[in-house]
Amino acid sequence: MTKLRVFIADSTASLRQVIKYALEDHFPGVVTEMANNGKNIQQRLDSTSYDLIIYEKEMPMLDGNTLLEWLRNHEKLKKTPFILMSADNDEVSLKKAIQLGADAYLLKPFKVDNLVKKVASIVNRLNSNRSQ
């Protein structure tokens, strides 16, 4: 894979930075773009290609479930890996995320190691798919 391109969206600036720094530490050359709310997210995703989207379920202006449903129905973007982050740990929320097509679910607060493991798993899958 060339440079890993990741879109990070969370309403908390410090969490966005933690995610960005963790990715930079573990995935050299990673390129990140960030957002603090859901405004214009669909247009941004439609105009730029990302290898992975990390998105807050409770995002203002466009919640994670709504974006994930849109993404999985979008011809160009439907295979883009998606990690949904949420403080919501009930079984219904987790099942909904899986039904909508989330590749992973991160329960907030999370350890950076858990994030890195989930991203590494997705990157390995992407690399494997591209080499076939």
Give the domain ranges of the chain: 5-131
**8 Å CB contact between 53 and 9:** yes
**8 Å CB contact between 6 and 31:** yes
| Full DSSP string of 16-30 | HHHHHHHHHHHSTT-
Instruction: Tell me what pLDDT residue 127 has.
Output: 86
Q: What is the pLDDT of residues 70-102, one digit of tens each?
A: 999 999 999 999 999 999 888 898 899 999 999
Phi, psi of 95 (to 5 degrees): -60, -40
Q: What is the DSSP letter of 36?
A: S
Q: Is 104 helix (H, G, I), strand (E, B) or coil?
A: strand
Instruction: Tell me what pLDDT residue 128 has.
Output: 86
Sheet of 5-9, strand order: 31-35, 5-9, 52-56, 82-86, 104-107
Q: Given a cut of 90, is residue 131 above it in pLDDT?
A: no
Beta strand spans in 14-126 (E): 31-35, 52-56, 82-86, 104-107
Over range 12-36, report the average pLDDT. 96
The class that CATH gives domain 5-131 is alpha beta
